[in-house]
Structure 1
Amino acid sequence: MKYLKLLSIALIIAVQSCFSADEDPVSVPPMTGATSKPAVGGANEPNQVWIDLSDIDPVTKEPRQKTNLRTDWELGFYNGDEFRVIINGSIGMAVAKIPGATNINSVKSADVSSLMSVVQIGTFTASNLEYIDNPNGNFLTQTTGIAEIKANDADNGVYLVNMGKALSTATVAPGSVSLTGESRGWKKIQILRSASGYRVRYADLNDDQYKEQVITKNPDYNFNFFSLQKGQAVQIQPQKHNWDIAFTTFTNEVFMSPGQSAGSYFYADFIITNILSGVGVYQVDVPAGKTLDQIYGEFKLSDVSQTKFIFNDHRALGDKWRTTTGANGPQTYSDRFFVLKDAEGFYYKIRFNAMTQNGVRGYPNFEFAPL
């Protein structure tokens, strides 16, 4: 539960004096709005940035940020009742079950050479969606990516893992991005259940002896994360109720034309919402004859439309806040803002003011206010 983050010390003392020793403090939204400059890291966008709109730093007056390099993790292990594993779409990973393989040690690169040419993203083929997680974030029901981990060990296959791309260090022209460096190579994995969570077996393709790591479920977090490169658990997301939105690169579905999928594609300047913890978002369009300043300024709690919230797609905000093809180059839209409902039922209005700094992408700026 979030505590009284934004009140002065005196007010905290006064309010808490009303609680009995057996009562928890009551969650409250921020008393005023704030501006945020997520530390995405410039045109190479090396960072994922996790933000809780109600957690305001009393010194900076901005929401606190938790950041990690996009390459810090490859696998996320779900901490709920189901046994599900996600891959890191922020580095363009892909994964495929190796037909007929049950013994991870016996798999060699020669056995998967034909798979390696297709287990990719950005190939403009609709079929490559099967190698990534469901772009809408509904991993519990997806039939792509890594299958549900079965209770019977023999029912869990061996997977070929495309480790995605390293971070780019290239210098690019203003308005452009460079998101991907060299290939990070390939791994083979097999994931089983354990008494407390998961057992992940992993190795390089030609290794004849796997390594194994136990991942213990922790209900305070949506996922436990693991680095195949480092062979260790890593902390990525904040606790499950302590983030609302995240700035990241993203593997999404792209379309050649309406209804004609071109498969998976890598996006810059993307925002996901924490739908696992009940965060919902919808867009408010500025009507003709009005300005964003007018409509955003006048919008109040009684104007919120409960039926418009999107709770089942973590792309509800996605790339809808910015354009890369505007007359003035990459810029935020001035004809819309967004309403967000967090996991505790508080409402915020959010407007995006910038996606560049001196013409360089990867420097977003947004403001928000509680309703």
Structure 2
Amino acid sequence: MKYLNIFLFVLIITATQSCLSADEDPVAVPPITGSIVDPQVNGARQPNQVWIDLSDMNPETKKLNQTVNLRTDWDLGFYSGDEYRVILNSSVAMAVAKIPNATDINKVKEADVKNLMNTVQVGPFGQAVLQYIDNPDGNFLTQTTGIAPVKENDAENPVYLLNLGRKLDTGSNIPPGSVSLSGDSRGWKKIQIVRAPGGYKIRYADIDATEYKEYIITKDPDYTFSFFSFTSGTTVKIQPEKKKWDLGFTTFTNEVFMGTASAGSYFYADFVITNTAAGVSAYQVNVTGSLDQAYKAFKRSDVDAGKFISNDQRAIGDKWRTTTGTAEIQGAFVYTDRFFVIKDAAGFYFKLRFNKMKNVDGERGYPNFVFDPL
């Protein structure tokens, strides 16, 4: 919040100036301006998730700080609030389903879930597959898909088949303007999650294993989620503290439509989520003339509070870019007829416009945006 502290400091100085007598020299106050940001998504394979707080300016570099992790650094997120909820890592196309009639995790074998493995997938296979992913709007506290709320009675918590999604791509020769998001399968796990004092206990194993491992995840009130990795067998730090990020740049498991009909789940590149769990909201401003002029002219009094989207983390989503182009311009590019207004968790307002999504060689995964406080 260093950037906001500077902002408040300037307001105090401005108020003090108004009390100076006419013959005193006024105190010079530098203008508060925004910044140009290059989120470190890192190219057409988009290996990184990037978490950005629009108020966290590095005073030395005059650039926003960024928290960056590989998409494969975590698997499950355990909610730190009062309720007991668990989310999937949608940035690697994970999916999950209850294993019918399974009560003992050690007794589950691949033969028991072979047919289920064919359907617990991410892909445009029809609306029915949406039950296997988290609700894309991010309202995890009320969702009826993915992993169910963890019950107090251990016996009421099912055994799940967990599709770990896809590895990062390690191939080469990605054509300019394209992406390659998925490598080999990361495999499968069988899991069961129960409550533990102050948190959760996860039991997990490979499908044919006869003995499970377990780990206790403690709720941390400073963070929205505690993240767990099967690779390390421990919790890992991913997102910043719950009110210290506004935007997340990530790949994303979303719902896709054919016209107005749902076609199921789909894996998106170049996606931006807002931190709705901490109260961050956003909306799109459409421009008919010059984007430069409209963006520069937009001020705090122009904000339309009724347009803010606070109940869907996809308020920006994929709306800032196109990957199919238009009749006039083909290929992936940033829309030039819109910008966005953001209200952060502390109630501060920003305007933000995207400038590009590719580098000078035409490689995707190099977004750039400019923002200004209002």
Q: One fold, TM greater than 0.5?
A: yes
Residue identity opposite 1:346 in structure 2:
F
Query: Is 1:132 aligned to residue 133 of structure 2?
Result: yes
Q: Say what the alpha-carbon RMSD is for the aligned residues.
A: 1.7
On the 8 A contact 1:93/1:164 being kept in 2, the answer is yes
Q: Which position in structure 1 is the counterpart of 2:296?
A: 297
> What is the distance in 1 between the residues matched to 2:75 and 2:49?
13
On the 8 A contact 2:2/2:58 being kept in 1, the answer is no
Q: Which position in structure 2 is the counterpart of 1:102?
A: 103
Q: How does 1:347-358 map to 2 (within 5 A)?
A: 347-358=349-360
Q: By how many angstroms is 1:125 displaced?
A: 1.6
On the 8 A contact 1:36/1:367 being kept in 2, the answer is yes
Q: By how many angstroms is 1:58 displaced?
A: 2.0
Q: Which position in structure 1 is the counterpart of 2:236?
A: 234
Query: Is 1:61 aligned to residue 62 of structure 2?
Result: yes
Q: How does 1:35-114 map to 2 (within 5 A)?
A: 35-114=36-115
- Determine helix, strand or coil for the equivalent of 2:6: coil
Q: By how many angstroms is 1:124 displaced?
A: 2.3
Q: How does 1:269-288 map to 2 (within 5 A)?
A: 269-287=270-288
Q: By how many angstroms is 1:57 displaced?
A: 1.3
Q: Which position in structure 1 is the counterpart of 2:372?
A: 369
Query: Is 1:218 aligned to residue 217 of structure 2?
Result: no
Q: Which position in structure 1 is the counterpart of 2:22?
A: none
On the 8 A contact 1:6/1:58 being kept in 2, the answer is no
Residue identity (%): 62
Q: Which position in structure 2 is the counterpart of 1:324?
A: 323
Q: Which position in structure 2 is the counterpart of 1:254?
A: 256
Cα deviation, 1:26-76, whole Å, max 9, x if unaligned, reads xxxx93200100000100000000000000112332211000000001100
Equivalent residue pairs, number: 351
> What is the distance in 2 between the residues matched to 1:35 and 1:119?
41
On the 8 A contact 1:108/1:205 being kept in 2, the answer is yes
Q: How does 1:109-258 map to 2 (within 5 A)?
A: 109-171=110-172, 172-258=174-260
> What is the distance in 2 between the residues matched to 1:5 and 1:140?
30
> What is the distance in 1 between the residues matched to 2:125 and 2:144?
20
Q: By how many angstroms is 1:6 displaced?
A: 6.0
TM-score, structure 2 as length reference: 0.91
Residue identity opposite 2:125 in structure 1:
F
On the 8 A contact 2:191/2:204 being kept in 1, the answer is yes
Residue identity opposite 1:312 in structure 2:
N
Residue identity opposite 2:156 in structure 1:
D
- Determine helix, strand or coil for the equivalent of 2:141: helix
Unpaired stretches in structure 1, ≥5 consecutive residues: 19-29
Cα deviation, 1:185-235, whole Å, max 9, x if unaligned, reads 000000000111100001101111111100000110000000012211111
> What is the distance in 2 between the residues matched to 1:355 and 1:61?
22
Residue identity opposite 2:312 in structure 1:
D
The structure 1 segments of at least 4 consecutive aligned residues displaced by more than 3 Å after TM superposition are 2-8
Q: Which position in structure 2 is the counterpart of 1:27?
A: none
On the 8 A contact 1:6/1:55 being kept in 2, the answer is no
> What is the distance in 1 between the residues matched to 2:96 and 2:167?
17
Residue identity opposite 1:300 in structure 2:
K
Residue identity opposite 2:218 in structure 1:
T
Q: By how many angstroms is 1:5 displaced?
A: 5.9
> What is the distance in 2 between the residues matched to 1:63 and 1:169?
30
